[in-house]
Structure 1
Amino acid sequence: MPKQAYSRREFVTTTLATGFALAVLPDAQATVINTPLDGLVAGEVKIPVAGGDMPAYRAMPDGAGPFPTVLVVQEIFGVHEHIRDVCRRFAKAGYLAVAPELYARQGDVSKLPDVKSIVDTVVSKVPDAQVMDDLDKTVAWAKGTGKAATDKLGVTGFCWGGRITWLYAAHNPKLKAGVAWYGRLVGEAKPPITPRHPLDVVAELKAPVLGLYGGADNGIPNDTVEQMRAALKTAGKPSEIVLYPDMPHGFHADYRPTYRKEAADDGWKRLLAWFKQHGVN
Protein backbone atom coordinates (compact mmCIF):
# COMPACT_ATOMS: atom_id res chain seq x y z
CA MET A 1 0.00 0.00 0.00
CA PRO A 2 1.65 3.29 -1.03
CA LYS A 3 2.52 5.74 1.71
CA GLN A 4 0.51 8.95 1.87
CA ALA A 5 1.65 12.19 3.48
CA TYR A 6 -0.12 13.31 6.62
CA SER A 7 0.29 16.25 8.95
CA ARG A 8 2.16 15.57 12.16
CA ARG A 9 0.18 16.67 15.17
CA GLU A 10 0.79 16.93 18.86
CA PHE A 11 -0.83 14.31 21.02
CA VAL A 12 -4.20 15.02 22.58
CA THR A 13 -4.30 11.71 24.45
CA THR A 14 -1.18 10.82 26.42
CA THR A 15 -2.50 8.00 28.57
CA LEU A 16 -5.09 5.27 28.16
CA ALA A 17 -8.58 5.72 29.55
CA THR A 18 -9.66 3.45 32.38
CA GLY A 19 -12.64 1.12 32.14
CA PHE A 20 -15.04 1.12 29.22
CA ALA A 21 -15.74 3.96 26.81
CA LEU A 22 -18.68 6.15 27.83
CA ALA A 23 -20.53 5.44 24.57
CA VAL A 24 -20.51 1.68 25.19
CA LEU A 25 -20.75 1.05 28.89
CA PRO A 26 -21.42 -2.66 29.47
CA ASP A 27 -24.95 -3.88 28.93
CA ALA A 28 -26.68 -4.54 32.26
CA GLN A 29 -27.22 -8.20 31.36
CA ALA A 30 -23.83 -8.78 29.77
CA THR A 31 -21.38 -11.31 31.17
CA VAL A 32 -18.21 -9.35 30.55
CA ILE A 33 -15.12 -11.51 30.11
CA ASN A 34 -12.36 -10.51 32.53
CA THR A 35 -9.16 -12.39 31.84
CA PRO A 36 -7.05 -12.72 35.02
CA LEU A 37 -3.54 -11.32 35.18
CA ASP A 38 -1.91 -14.30 36.87
CA GLY A 39 1.08 -15.50 34.84
CA LEU A 40 1.05 -12.33 32.73
CA VAL A 41 2.90 -9.07 32.43
CA ALA A 42 0.40 -6.44 31.35
CA GLY A 43 -0.14 -2.71 31.43
CA GLU A 44 0.28 0.60 29.66
CA VAL A 45 3.41 1.36 27.66
CA LYS A 46 4.60 4.32 25.57
CA ILE A 47 5.60 3.86 21.93
CA PRO A 48 7.77 6.44 20.15
CA VAL A 49 6.03 7.54 16.95
CA ALA A 50 5.98 10.62 14.73
CA GLY A 51 5.22 13.59 16.95
CA GLY A 52 5.67 12.04 20.38
CA ASP A 53 4.90 8.99 22.50
CA MET A 54 1.73 7.03 21.79
CA PRO A 55 0.06 5.21 24.71
CA ALA A 56 -0.61 1.50 24.21
CA TYR A 57 -1.63 -1.56 26.18
CA ARG A 58 0.71 -4.55 26.17
CA ALA A 59 0.15 -8.04 27.57
CA MET A 60 2.45 -11.07 27.41
CA PRO A 61 3.34 -14.19 29.36
CA ASP A 62 5.60 -13.70 32.37
CA GLY A 63 8.64 -15.37 30.88
CA ALA A 64 11.82 -14.88 28.90
CA GLY A 65 10.29 -14.90 25.43
CA PRO A 66 10.57 -13.89 22.72
CA PHE A 67 6.88 -14.43 22.00
CA PRO A 68 4.98 -14.39 18.71
CA THR A 69 3.53 -10.93 18.32
CA VAL A 70 0.03 -9.68 17.59
CA LEU A 71 -1.07 -6.12 16.88
CA VAL A 72 -4.59 -5.60 18.26
CA VAL A 73 -6.41 -2.78 16.47
CA GLN A 74 -9.19 -1.06 18.36
CA GLU A 75 -12.85 -0.63 17.66
CA ILE A 76 -13.97 2.96 17.10
CA PHE A 77 -14.17 3.19 20.90
CA GLY A 78 -10.40 3.24 21.34
CA VAL A 79 -8.24 1.09 23.59
CA HIS A 80 -10.80 0.65 26.34
CA GLU A 81 -11.26 -2.31 28.66
CA HIS A 82 -12.57 -4.74 26.05
CA ILE A 83 -9.53 -4.28 23.80
CA ARG A 84 -7.22 -4.57 26.78
CA ASP A 85 -8.87 -7.85 27.72
CA VAL A 86 -8.40 -9.16 24.18
CA CYS A 87 -4.67 -8.49 24.64
CA ARG A 88 -4.72 -10.50 27.87
CA ARG A 89 -6.47 -13.37 26.09
CA PHE A 90 -3.68 -13.42 23.54
CA ALA A 91 -1.10 -13.38 26.32
CA LYS A 92 -2.77 -16.39 27.92
CA ALA A 93 -2.36 -18.14 24.55
CA GLY A 94 1.38 -17.40 24.52
CA TYR A 95 1.54 -14.17 22.54
CA LEU A 96 2.87 -10.71 23.13
CA ALA A 97 -0.13 -8.55 22.20
CA VAL A 98 -0.06 -4.79 21.92
CA ALA A 99 -2.92 -2.37 21.23
CA PRO A 100 -1.73 1.15 20.37
CA GLU A 101 -4.13 4.06 20.92
CA LEU A 102 -4.32 5.05 17.27
CA TYR A 103 -6.50 8.13 17.85
CA ALA A 104 -4.07 9.69 20.32
CA ARG A 105 -3.31 12.73 18.14
CA GLN A 106 -6.93 13.41 17.17
CA GLY A 107 -8.70 13.04 20.52
CA ASP A 108 -9.94 10.96 23.44
CA VAL A 109 -13.02 9.02 22.35
CA SER A 110 -13.51 7.40 25.77
CA LYS A 111 -15.48 10.37 27.10
CA LEU A 112 -17.66 11.02 24.07
CA PRO A 113 -21.33 10.06 24.54
CA ASP A 114 -22.25 8.30 21.29
CA VAL A 115 -20.97 6.83 18.05
CA LYS A 116 -21.86 9.88 15.94
CA SER A 117 -19.82 12.23 18.09
CA ILE A 118 -16.91 9.77 18.09
CA VAL A 119 -16.92 9.55 14.30
CA ASP A 120 -17.48 13.24 13.65
CA THR A 121 -15.08 14.56 16.28
CA VAL A 122 -12.22 12.08 16.10
CA VAL A 123 -12.35 9.04 13.82
CA SER A 124 -13.11 10.94 10.61
CA LYS A 125 -9.86 12.88 11.13
CA VAL A 126 -7.50 9.89 11.56
CA PRO A 127 -5.50 9.35 8.33
CA ASP A 128 -4.88 5.79 7.18
CA ALA A 129 -1.26 6.72 6.42
CA GLN A 130 -0.76 7.80 10.03
CA VAL A 131 -2.23 4.52 11.25
CA MET A 132 0.01 2.42 9.00
CA ASP A 133 3.08 4.27 10.24
CA ASP A 134 2.02 4.01 13.88
CA LEU A 135 1.55 0.25 13.50
CA ASP A 136 5.00 -0.03 11.93
CA LYS A 137 6.45 1.93 14.85
CA THR A 138 4.61 -0.39 17.25
CA VAL A 139 6.28 -3.41 15.65
CA ALA A 140 9.67 -1.69 15.93
CA TRP A 141 9.02 -0.90 19.59
CA ALA A 142 8.01 -4.51 20.28
CA LYS A 143 11.15 -5.82 18.62
CA GLY A 144 13.24 -3.45 20.70
CA THR A 145 11.91 -4.89 23.96
CA GLY A 146 13.64 -8.20 23.26
CA LYS A 147 10.41 -9.96 24.20
CA ALA A 148 8.74 -9.99 20.79
CA ALA A 149 9.41 -12.41 17.94
CA THR A 150 8.36 -9.96 15.26
CA ASP A 151 9.27 -12.45 12.55
CA LYS A 152 6.07 -14.15 13.76
CA LEU A 153 3.79 -11.13 13.37
CA GLY A 154 0.01 -11.10 13.17
CA VAL A 155 -2.64 -8.40 13.27
CA THR A 156 -6.29 -8.48 14.25
CA GLY A 157 -8.87 -5.74 14.57
CA PHE A 158 -12.53 -5.16 15.29
CA CYS A 159 -14.99 -2.92 13.41
CA TRP A 160 -12.83 0.15 12.57
CA GLY A 161 -9.84 -2.05 13.32
CA GLY A 162 -11.15 -4.77 11.01
CA ARG A 163 -10.86 -2.40 8.07
CA ILE A 164 -7.39 -1.40 9.22
CA THR A 165 -6.38 -5.07 9.40
CA TRP A 166 -7.02 -5.51 5.68
CA LEU A 167 -5.12 -2.31 4.88
CA TYR A 168 -2.15 -3.29 7.02
CA ALA A 169 -1.98 -6.66 5.30
CA ALA A 170 -1.52 -4.73 2.06
CA HIS A 171 1.05 -2.44 3.67
CA ASN A 172 3.55 -4.56 5.61
CA PRO A 173 5.45 -7.23 3.64
CA LYS A 174 6.74 -8.75 6.90
CA LEU A 175 3.27 -9.54 8.24
CA LYS A 176 2.50 -13.25 8.44
CA ALA A 177 -1.31 -13.16 8.79
CA GLY A 178 -4.31 -11.04 9.75
CA VAL A 179 -7.80 -11.63 11.11
CA ALA A 180 -10.41 -8.93 10.43
CA TRP A 181 -13.56 -8.90 12.55
CA TYR A 182 -16.47 -7.20 10.72
CA GLY A 183 -14.39 -4.45 9.17
CA ARG A 184 -15.93 -2.30 6.44
CA LEU A 185 -14.82 -3.43 2.97
CA VAL A 186 -16.00 -0.75 0.57
CA GLY A 187 -16.46 2.97 0.78
CA GLU A 188 -16.01 6.35 -0.82
CA ALA A 189 -12.42 7.47 -1.32
CA LYS A 190 -11.75 10.52 0.83
CA PRO A 191 -8.09 11.43 0.45
CA PRO A 192 -5.94 12.14 2.34
CA ILE A 193 -7.81 10.53 5.27
CA THR A 194 -9.21 7.34 3.73
CA PRO A 195 -7.98 7.22 0.13
CA ARG A 196 -8.68 3.51 -0.31
CA HIS A 197 -10.62 0.69 1.27
CA PRO A 198 -10.03 -3.08 1.57
CA LEU A 199 -11.68 -3.95 -1.75
CA ASP A 200 -9.30 -1.51 -3.46
CA VAL A 201 -6.13 -3.17 -2.13
CA VAL A 202 -6.89 -6.86 -2.70
CA ALA A 203 -4.20 -7.22 -5.36
CA GLU A 204 -1.64 -5.76 -2.93
CA LEU A 205 -2.29 -8.08 0.01
CA LYS A 206 1.03 -9.35 1.29
CA ALA A 207 -0.35 -11.69 3.96
CA PRO A 208 -3.40 -13.94 4.15
CA VAL A 209 -6.38 -12.45 5.97
CA LEU A 210 -9.26 -14.29 7.59
CA GLY A 211 -12.40 -12.14 7.54
CA LEU A 212 -15.10 -12.83 10.15
CA TYR A 213 -18.43 -11.21 9.31
CA GLY A 214 -22.06 -11.25 10.42
CA GLY A 215 -24.83 -12.08 8.00
CA ALA A 216 -27.17 -9.66 9.80
CA ASP A 217 -24.69 -6.78 10.02
CA ASN A 218 -26.70 -3.68 9.10
CA GLY A 219 -23.56 -1.66 8.43
CA ILE A 220 -21.76 -4.16 6.19
CA PRO A 221 -24.17 -5.53 3.56
CA ASN A 222 -23.70 -9.14 2.54
CA ASP A 223 -23.21 -8.12 -1.07
CA THR A 224 -20.04 -6.21 -0.14
CA VAL A 225 -18.74 -9.30 1.64
CA GLU A 226 -19.40 -11.32 -1.51
CA GLN A 227 -17.65 -8.66 -3.62
CA MET A 228 -14.59 -9.03 -1.42
CA ARG A 229 -14.72 -12.82 -1.55
CA ALA A 230 -14.94 -12.74 -5.35
CA ALA A 231 -12.08 -10.23 -5.61
CA LEU A 232 -9.84 -12.39 -3.41
CA LYS A 233 -10.56 -15.40 -5.62
CA THR A 234 -9.89 -13.48 -8.82
CA ALA A 235 -6.59 -12.17 -7.44
CA GLY A 236 -5.58 -15.63 -6.29
CA LYS A 237 -5.05 -14.48 -2.72
CA PRO A 238 -5.00 -17.15 0.04
CA SER A 239 -7.43 -15.23 2.21
CA GLU A 240 -10.81 -16.47 3.42
CA ILE A 241 -14.08 -14.99 4.64
CA VAL A 242 -16.49 -16.60 7.07
CA LEU A 243 -20.01 -15.16 7.04
CA TYR A 244 -21.95 -16.16 10.15
CA PRO A 245 -25.67 -16.37 9.34
CA ASP A 246 -27.92 -14.06 11.37
CA MET A 247 -25.03 -12.59 13.36
CA PRO A 248 -25.05 -8.82 13.98
CA HIS A 249 -22.17 -6.38 13.89
CA GLY A 250 -20.05 -6.62 17.03
CA PHE A 251 -20.83 -10.25 17.77
CA HIS A 252 -17.46 -10.68 19.49
CA ALA A 253 -17.98 -7.75 21.90
CA ASP A 254 -18.99 -9.56 25.11
CA TYR A 255 -19.91 -6.32 26.89
CA ARG A 256 -22.56 -5.28 24.33
CA PRO A 257 -26.06 -6.55 23.47
CA THR A 258 -24.72 -7.64 20.06
CA TYR A 259 -22.56 -10.36 21.66
CA ARG A 260 -23.18 -13.86 20.41
CA LYS A 261 -21.11 -16.34 22.38
CA GLU A 262 -21.20 -19.23 19.93
CA ALA A 263 -20.01 -17.16 16.97
CA ALA A 264 -17.49 -15.27 19.12
CA ASP A 265 -15.97 -18.49 20.44
CA ASP A 266 -15.88 -20.04 16.99
CA GLY A 267 -14.24 -16.94 15.56
CA TRP A 268 -11.57 -16.96 18.26
CA LYS A 269 -10.78 -20.63 17.60
CA ARG A 270 -10.54 -19.88 13.89
CA LEU A 271 -8.25 -16.93 14.63
CA LEU A 272 -5.83 -19.02 16.68
CA ALA A 273 -5.83 -21.76 14.04
CA TRP A 274 -5.27 -19.21 11.25
CA PHE A 275 -2.31 -17.70 13.04
CA LYS A 276 -0.83 -21.12 13.70
CA GLN A 277 -1.34 -22.17 10.09
CA HIS A 278 0.48 -19.10 8.82
CA GLY A 279 3.41 -18.98 11.22
CA VAL A 280 2.18 -16.63 13.94
CA ASN A 281 2.92 -19.06 16.77
Structure 2
Amino acid sequence: MTTIRLEAPGGPLDALLEVPDGHGPWPGVVLIHDAIGYGRDMQAISERVASAGYVALSPNLYSRGGRARCITRVFRDLLTQRGRALEDILAARDQLLGMSECSGAVGIAGFCMGGQFALILSSSGFGAAAPFYGVPLPRHLEQTLEGACPIVASFGGRDLLGAGAADRLRRLVEDKGIAHDIKVYPEAGHSFANQLPAQPLIRIAGFGYDDAATADAWDRVFAFFGQHLSAEA
Protein backbone atom coordinates (compact mmCIF):
# COMPACT_ATOMS: atom_id res chain seq x y z
CA MET A 1 0.00 0.00 0.00
CA THR A 2 1.38 3.38 -1.02
CA THR A 3 0.14 6.88 -0.21
CA ILE A 4 0.71 9.25 -3.12
CA ARG A 5 0.11 12.95 -3.72
CA LEU A 6 -2.52 13.34 -6.39
CA GLU A 7 -2.52 16.58 -8.42
CA ALA A 8 -5.99 18.05 -8.92
CA PRO A 9 -7.41 21.44 -9.99
CA GLY A 10 -8.14 22.33 -6.36
CA GLY A 11 -4.62 21.46 -5.24
CA PRO A 12 -2.84 18.23 -4.30
CA LEU A 13 -4.51 15.61 -2.13
CA ASP A 14 -3.55 12.26 -0.65
CA ALA A 15 -4.59 9.00 -2.29
CA LEU A 16 -4.07 5.32 -1.53
CA LEU A 17 -2.52 3.34 -4.38
CA GLU A 18 -2.46 -0.45 -4.54
CA VAL A 19 -0.94 -2.23 -7.56
CA PRO A 20 -1.43 -5.97 -8.19
CA ASP A 21 1.51 -8.35 -7.93
CA GLY A 22 2.96 -9.55 -11.20
CA HIS A 23 3.20 -7.96 -14.61
CA GLY A 24 0.50 -5.65 -15.98
CA PRO A 25 -0.97 -3.68 -17.40
CA TRP A 26 -4.24 -4.05 -15.51
CA PRO A 27 -7.52 -2.11 -15.58
CA GLY A 28 -7.80 0.62 -12.96
CA VAL A 29 -10.49 1.31 -10.39
CA VAL A 30 -11.07 4.60 -8.58
CA LEU A 31 -12.41 3.83 -5.10
CA ILE A 32 -14.47 6.48 -3.30
CA HIS A 33 -14.72 6.26 0.48
CA ASP A 34 -17.89 6.70 2.52
CA ALA A 35 -18.79 9.68 4.70
CA ILE A 36 -16.46 8.53 7.49
CA GLY A 37 -13.38 8.79 5.28
CA TYR A 38 -10.67 6.24 4.75
CA GLY A 39 -8.59 4.25 7.17
CA ARG A 40 -7.95 0.55 7.58
CA ASP A 41 -11.31 -0.23 5.98
CA MET A 42 -10.40 1.45 2.68
CA GLN A 43 -6.96 -0.14 2.83
CA ALA A 44 -8.58 -3.58 3.06
CA ILE A 45 -10.91 -2.74 0.15
CA SER A 46 -7.98 -1.51 -1.95
CA GLU A 47 -6.11 -4.74 -1.27
CA ARG A 48 -9.16 -6.79 -2.26
CA VAL A 49 -9.48 -4.89 -5.54
CA ALA A 50 -5.77 -5.18 -6.32
CA SER A 51 -5.75 -8.90 -5.54
CA ALA A 52 -8.49 -9.31 -8.15
CA GLY A 53 -6.20 -7.78 -10.79
CA TYR A 54 -6.99 -4.05 -10.76
CA VAL A 55 -4.87 -1.00 -9.99
CA ALA A 56 -6.77 0.59 -7.10
CA LEU A 57 -6.59 4.33 -6.40
CA SER A 58 -8.58 5.88 -3.57
CA PRO A 59 -8.46 9.69 -3.24
CA ASN A 60 -8.90 11.11 0.25
CA LEU A 61 -11.61 13.70 -0.34
CA TYR A 62 -11.04 15.02 3.20
CA SER A 63 -7.31 15.64 2.90
CA ARG A 64 -7.40 19.43 2.47
CA GLY A 65 -7.94 21.63 5.52
CA GLY A 66 -9.82 20.70 8.68
CA ARG A 67 -11.97 17.59 8.68
CA ALA A 68 -15.23 19.37 9.51
CA ARG A 69 -14.71 21.90 6.73
CA CYS A 70 -13.83 19.15 4.26
CA ILE A 71 -16.91 17.09 5.09
CA THR A 72 -19.15 20.13 4.66
CA ARG A 73 -17.60 21.01 1.32
CA VAL A 74 -17.70 17.45 -0.04
CA PHE A 75 -21.36 17.03 0.85
CA ARG A 76 -22.15 20.37 -0.77
CA ASP A 77 -20.40 19.19 -3.93
CA LEU A 78 -22.37 15.94 -3.74
CA LEU A 79 -25.64 17.82 -3.47
CA THR A 80 -24.89 20.29 -6.27
CA GLN A 81 -23.07 17.66 -8.39
CA ARG A 82 -20.19 20.00 -9.11
CA GLY A 83 -17.09 21.28 -7.36
CA ARG A 84 -13.70 20.15 -6.13
CA ALA A 85 -14.78 16.71 -4.91
CA LEU A 86 -15.85 15.72 -8.42
CA GLU A 87 -12.66 17.23 -9.84
CA ASP A 88 -10.61 15.20 -7.34
CA ILE A 89 -12.27 11.97 -8.44
CA LEU A 90 -11.69 12.77 -12.11
CA ALA A 91 -8.06 13.60 -11.30
CA ALA A 92 -7.76 10.10 -9.83
CA ARG A 93 -9.17 8.69 -13.05
CA ASP A 94 -6.62 10.67 -15.08
CA GLN A 95 -3.80 9.55 -12.77
CA LEU A 96 -4.65 5.92 -13.50
CA LEU A 97 -4.91 6.56 -17.23
CA GLY A 98 -1.40 8.04 -17.17
CA MET A 99 0.17 5.05 -15.40
CA SER A 100 2.05 2.42 -17.37
CA GLU A 101 0.57 -0.20 -15.01
CA CYS A 102 -2.96 0.70 -16.18
CA SER A 103 -4.39 -0.83 -19.33
CA GLY A 104 -6.35 2.30 -20.23
CA ALA A 105 -9.69 1.05 -18.89
CA VAL A 106 -10.86 2.57 -15.59
CA GLY A 107 -13.91 1.80 -13.46
CA ILE A 108 -15.27 3.52 -10.38
CA ALA A 109 -16.61 2.05 -7.15
CA GLY A 110 -17.93 3.87 -4.11
CA PHE A 111 -19.59 3.30 -0.77
CA CYS A 112 -22.57 5.24 0.62
CA MET A 113 -21.55 8.82 -0.20
CA GLY A 114 -18.95 7.38 -2.55
CA GLY A 115 -21.64 5.29 -4.23
CA GLN A 116 -23.57 8.45 -4.96
CA PHE A 117 -20.47 9.98 -6.54
CA ALA A 118 -20.04 6.80 -8.61
CA LEU A 119 -23.54 7.27 -10.02
CA ILE A 120 -23.10 11.01 -10.61
CA LEU A 121 -19.85 10.40 -12.53
CA SER A 122 -20.99 7.31 -14.41
CA SER A 123 -21.11 9.32 -17.63
CA SER A 124 -17.66 10.90 -17.11
CA GLY A 125 -15.23 8.62 -18.86
CA PHE A 126 -15.41 5.47 -16.77
CA GLY A 127 -15.84 2.02 -18.27
CA ALA A 128 -18.09 0.72 -15.48
CA ALA A 129 -19.47 1.95 -12.15
CA ALA A 130 -20.08 -0.01 -8.96
CA PRO A 131 -22.10 1.93 -6.38
CA PHE A 132 -22.47 0.17 -3.04
CA TYR A 133 -25.63 1.46 -1.29
CA GLY A 134 -25.28 4.87 -2.96
CA VAL A 135 -28.33 6.20 -1.19
CA PRO A 136 -30.26 8.31 -1.10
CA LEU A 137 -30.02 8.26 -4.88
CA PRO A 138 -28.62 11.50 -6.33
CA ARG A 139 -31.03 14.20 -7.40
CA HIS A 140 -31.91 14.54 -11.10
CA LEU A 141 -30.78 10.96 -11.60
CA GLU A 142 -32.61 10.54 -14.90
CA GLN A 143 -30.55 13.37 -16.44
CA THR A 144 -27.38 12.29 -14.63
CA LEU A 145 -27.51 8.84 -16.22
CA GLU A 146 -27.61 10.14 -19.78
CA GLY A 147 -24.69 8.43 -21.50
CA ALA A 148 -23.78 6.47 -18.38
CA CYS A 149 -21.40 3.54 -18.41
CA PRO A 150 -22.54 0.04 -17.37
CA ILE A 151 -23.59 -0.08 -13.70
CA VAL A 152 -23.32 -2.89 -11.13
CA ALA A 153 -25.12 -1.77 -7.97
CA SER A 154 -25.58 -3.39 -4.57
CA PHE A 155 -28.12 -2.48 -1.88
CA GLY A 156 -29.07 -3.73 1.57
CA GLY A 157 -32.67 -4.80 2.02
CA ARG A 158 -32.65 -3.54 5.63
CA ASP A 159 -31.19 -0.17 4.67
CA LEU A 160 -33.81 2.42 5.63
CA LEU A 161 -31.97 5.03 3.57
CA GLY A 162 -32.37 2.93 0.44
CA ALA A 163 -36.05 1.99 0.44
CA GLY A 164 -37.12 1.65 -3.22
CA ALA A 165 -33.74 2.80 -4.54
CA ALA A 166 -32.85 -0.44 -6.34
CA ASP A 167 -36.20 -0.58 -8.15
CA ARG A 168 -35.96 3.05 -9.21
CA LEU A 169 -32.39 2.67 -10.45
CA ARG A 170 -33.32 -0.50 -12.33
CA ARG A 171 -36.21 1.24 -14.09
CA LEU A 172 -33.99 4.14 -15.15
CA VAL A 173 -31.14 2.05 -16.53
CA GLU A 174 -33.54 -0.26 -18.34
CA ASP A 175 -35.31 2.71 -19.91
CA LYS A 176 -31.95 4.06 -21.08
CA GLY A 177 -30.60 0.71 -22.28
CA ILE A 178 -27.66 0.80 -19.87
CA ALA A 179 -26.03 -2.57 -19.15
CA HIS A 180 -26.57 -3.34 -15.49
CA ASP A 181 -26.52 -5.79 -12.61
CA ILE A 182 -28.55 -4.54 -9.64
CA LYS A 183 -29.05 -6.68 -6.57
CA VAL A 184 -30.64 -6.25 -3.13
CA TYR A 185 -29.37 -8.33 -0.21
CA PRO A 186 -32.49 -8.85 1.94
CA GLU A 187 -30.70 -9.49 5.24
CA ALA A 188 -28.07 -6.76 4.85
CA GLY A 189 -28.27 -3.17 6.03
CA HIS A 190 -26.44 0.01 5.13
CA SER A 191 -22.63 -0.15 4.94
CA PHE A 192 -22.73 -3.94 4.70
CA ALA A 193 -19.41 -3.98 2.79
CA ASN A 194 -17.57 -1.62 5.17
CA GLN A 195 -15.96 -2.75 8.41
CA LEU A 196 -16.61 0.38 10.44
CA PRO A 197 -15.80 1.08 14.09
CA ALA A 198 -18.34 0.17 16.81
CA GLN A 199 -20.01 -2.59 14.77
CA PRO A 200 -22.34 -3.86 17.57
CA LEU A 201 -23.66 -0.35 18.16
CA ILE A 202 -24.22 0.67 14.56
CA ARG A 203 -25.86 -2.68 13.76
CA ILE A 204 -28.77 -1.59 15.97
CA ALA A 205 -29.34 1.33 13.61
CA GLY A 206 -29.49 -0.95 10.55
CA PHE A 207 -25.82 -0.59 9.64
CA GLY A 208 -23.06 -3.17 9.83
CA TYR A 209 -20.75 -5.49 7.98
CA ASP A 210 -22.22 -8.59 6.34
CA ASP A 211 -19.56 -11.04 5.18
CA ALA A 212 -21.80 -13.14 2.90
CA ALA A 213 -23.36 -10.13 1.18
CA THR A 214 -19.95 -8.49 0.80
CA ALA A 215 -18.39 -11.57 -0.78
CA ASP A 216 -21.25 -12.00 -3.24
CA ALA A 217 -21.32 -8.31 -4.14
CA TRP A 218 -17.60 -8.24 -4.91
CA ASP A 219 -17.89 -11.43 -6.95
CA ARG A 220 -20.55 -9.69 -9.04
CA VAL A 221 -18.50 -6.50 -9.33
CA PHE A 222 -15.37 -8.29 -10.48
CA ALA A 223 -17.31 -10.38 -12.99
CA PHE A 224 -18.98 -7.22 -14.31
CA PHE A 225 -15.70 -5.28 -14.42
CA GLY A 226 -14.06 -8.23 -16.12
CA GLN A 227 -16.65 -7.96 -18.87
CA HIS A 228 -16.68 -4.18 -19.28
CA LEU A 229 -13.09 -3.21 -18.48
CA SER A 230 -11.38 -5.92 -20.51
CA ALA A 231 -9.28 -5.23 -23.59
CA GLU A 232 -12.09 -6.64 -25.71
CA ALA A 233 -14.60 -4.20 -24.19
Secondary structure of 2:7's counterpart equals strand
List alignment gaps of at least 5 residues for structure 1. Answer: 1-41, 110-116, 188-195
Match of 2:171 in 1: 230
**How much is the aligned-residue C-alpha RMSD, in angstroms?**
2.3
Distance 1:185 1:64, change over 3 A: same
The C-alpha deviation readout for 1:150-189, integer Å capped at 9, x for no partner, is x2211111100111111111222xx2111110002535xx
Secondary structure of 2:123's counterpart equals helix
Alignment pair present for 1:141 and 2:113 = no
Match of 1:170 in 2: 123
Contact 1:163 1:198 in 2 (8 A): no
Contact 1:76 1:123 in 2 (8 A): no
State how 1:74-223 maps to structure 2 within 5 Å. Answer: 74-105=33-64, 107-108=66-67, 121-126=72-77, 128-129=81-82, 130-149=84-103, 151-172=104-125, 175-186=126-137, 196-205=139-148, 207-221=149-163, 223=164
Give TM-score scaled by structure 2 length.
0.84
Report percent identity of matched pairs. Answer: 26
Contact 1:57 1:79 in 2 (8 A): no
Distance 1:231 1:137, change over 3 A: same
Distance 1:63 1:186, change over 3 A: closer
Q: Which has the higher contact order (CA 8 A, sep 6+)?
A: 1
Distance 1:56 1:280, change over 3 A: farther
Secondary structure of 2:146's counterpart equals helix
What code does the residue aligned with 2:75 have? S
Match of 1:72 in 2: 31
Match of 1:270 in 2: 220
Contact 2:96 2:106 in 1 (8 A): no
What code does the residue aligned with 1:262 have? A
Match of 1:6 in 2: none
Alignment pair present for 1:251 and 2:192 = yes
Distance 1:49 1:241, change over 3 A: same
Alignment pair present for 1:261 and 2:211 = yes
What code does the residue aligned with 1:177 have? A
Once the 2 structures are TM-superposed, how far is the Cα of residue 199 of structure 1 from its aligned partner? 4.3
Once the 2 structures are TM-superposed, how far is the Cα of residue 254 of structure 1 from its aligned partner? 3.0
Say which structure is richer in helix. Answer: 2
Contact 1:163 1:197 in 2 (8 A): no
List alignment gaps of at least 5 residues for structure 2. Answer: none
Once the 2 structures are TM-superposed, how far is the Cα of residue 204 of structure 1 from its aligned partner? 3.1
Match of 1:240 in 2: 181
